[in-house]
Chains A and B, each alone.
Chain A
């Protein structure tokens, strides 16, 4: 990449925004087609039950109702929900698009009602009578895999979907040599992604042309197209998927859902366009959930805090069925369990458990926040045990810059990093040493400040195809139009990330134009060459690289044409201000438009050159990238209520080179706040009957504006050698880095109470109990008032 740039690396405001700030953008629910019908699903109120009988007669005859269908009506016509992740010895758990004979989680679709308008549809949904015979549900994953639990799927009589094991180094020796062994159970609670736009699908079938068009709020238009063709038995070239504006995904729209296939089927069956849009309640019940792991760690360390070896046993709650990547996500946790540390020996056992709950799958970070949380909690546990500063323990275990590329015992190779540098910067920017003094002072006054650190590495730019379930490359076609405008068609499918802008910056830079001259098209399978989509922080690192390579191909072609026209060496031409300049001969130049014209008019091309200006690249990355960073969080806990207040947040992230720093900052902020959600507020709670009791925004708390401090973000830049842009990806970094920093701060605040670990979310009552019920290990020197309050607390019990 050129060092002096005009657009790349600059904080340009977004090209996407004008339509969005005027309310003129179109999300799925904003689309209206002539004759369009509305569909809605009748969903199981039981977590586990047999379906005895479905009576659709009343609903069929209700005003405005066009059809009511059950599994029986679509039998043999729609294939099961696809799962792209296949692990060794994995047992089957196929999900029919409509429940067949048995329901396995609350919210599973049993019937679909189609009506002429939304209101009639809503009324008719209540008229479908389903007779259930309830079965005992299994809700707790550990109980699910123990003897005698009710069985969800016959192929897994023990409800174990798979066991995934990995061992690297000599773990026995590590524990034999250990001065200390540290053990802890660490939970990653179940989360609901809650993209602000619920999912939606609209489908239209044109019988004359035999084309099925599906508009879906998805992150993966091409994969969806292929899967729909397979599920519906339709020729793939007749299926077109369009993602209009997508209102956030965070992994929840990186999937193929039953509703997408059912709605497409209905459009074909009824010969009219059909739309379905999820309610928020449905979004909570039947869009994938994230996390939900129980991790048990045993770490062998020296008395100085050097890691010798770590054993992990993780039970991952997969839910009732496999969605697209369900079984894979916990294994990503496994790959990253060494964190940014030298771990000479590791043993990992992951058990995927089937339970009567919604499936878990990729949610922002997808397996890596879990890993980082485990290991960053472990580092603090080691520091606490050895009474050392958490920063010192981390420093001791970092691999050094000269060690890169660095191979971990989990079998991945980190591309490039300087962990020490980002930690030092974070400590310096946060005023760490001063904060520690402040903390000591406040403790004497009975005030509980907590300072939390996290140094993370994550796995991004997914990824080399060899390590991906369905291809890890990305495509881009660049077309320079005859009038000098540029179109970039990308297989990535941005939904808020801003690549319409950052790719245009790249196009403008390389071809010497302005970003306004470059238009980015995505999310239409009829327009864009086959691609993979946007997830796993791959949009820029993989999709952007494909676009870059196509742009370079066209620049080279234009240079050849210009050199031919000018009688100059194409190698010595540069692009700028809409012209192609000769470096050697004074100010000699020709307009870019002349060279473009030559390519299309095709009379003056160099001999043997094909006409046209169109280049396609399928970029296959040689490795993942491994962004890293260091976060510092400061909290204060109200001893009377257990309320945790975030006082300060400093993030240092290294995502390699950056196309647009404004977009990077936005990704980091959003990621940190989603981590605040997991650390402090969010939790999908199923009761013992398998009912989701946090099934609405009334009970599932998301971070709101008032809960946050002003976040300070900094960057170090360690370019990735994996792609020519040197970018790493940043979509998930905030979430991965921040979750442990926040909880480490909470635990640090509670140190005077002898607390060594706190489960997420750090809800007030949980914290309050730790402060009021655990006898202080060494009584904090609180003033009389605080002590009296604590006593008052005990007396009232």
Chain B
């Protein structure tokens, strides 16, 4: 199916830029374009982004100096409307130049990627207006580039004293409120710098990457099966999404097709993960408006789902479900019964609670028109997941790039498509919409799990070949409860990993929080933050 689309885009791009593109290769649903000259990056990227209607998926940098390629930058674009294609724009950057033209002015979503590459590889994006440090905080040596191959994983770097240049808002009556990285609640570390006029937020600047653990560098020194465990721990609450994406990449590189039963089990666990996390964030929304009754009831359901996770997989947060080539844990007839019984109970209770919450005007008042995401900013920053769907940007990796057994669930009648589109247009991007989108997704997840319980009768996994071909790469992607998660793996010699690039949904969605609180007061910030439910660890890696 995707062959048709790849041919179409290949013809279109080569027709326009034939003299600027060296070769065009295909790899599953990926179209790789190798540029002759890195100076052509903006022109070709802008064409793919603007004229072909794609979204930026990720920007990957690799240090291929050992292979004689210098540094290589891959700008990845994805079609998100049912045409299952990813377009890679690949260009080499010579070691003596160490810079490339930035695309951030035309494609703002690339800004953070370029800052990250600047920190980790020391390659300068020319014309990017913001080259402040991102991943490596102010205390790091400026000449340290952790993802370069000549940097040792265990190098200890002495601390340097430096101040991070926050944006200063000045004027009469304007105060600064610094919050974090240690917060009042039980949440992950991050710093928020508010500039306020009374209670109104004038500006918010986020400073993240406190939880940076060097996951991408660490993966390069680990065995492939151990990297699977590492991928589960990128963000504890996205363990299935991340490990499935990693497994997909390796399975594509090894040309392994996993059994149907394994695909279905991955789907079931993926949806169970979505369920317990959506329950948690709905409970959080209820808590942050000061309505603990709702949050207590929803937390009871979350705990029940975690108990279900435990009895099915042996881990309350679904660690250890996946393996490369399939899954490790089976769903037996007995566990099917447990799933159906718990789901019936949880679903009826959930519907009761939601009806009750929606009937409380004081609850709805706090949610309505709070934390509105501006649509233009949402498009520019390339939002994914619930954050995008709440403003009517209809993206869902489960439908746009089907994986596991999601292909089976996407059949819609023309009437349903129209209804979906109308409901998308009505969405205005406030906390209430995000609340409703989550409630709807919870109900859909129940349906998907029910439909997937009709398991095929084949094996749980296939063995992968012992030796993987070196320097092959592939993209793995899933829809976590936060949105599209993309992993890119390039194999190295002796079954090692040459480069492991992870881009979770949180990395794309974090910048929008600065835009969405601008019409609100400081006490609304926790509510807006919780309604977006972003991961710090998944962002910081």
Q: Do the two shown chains form a genuine complex with each other? A: no
Which residue numbers of B lie inside 8 Å of A, CB to CB?
none
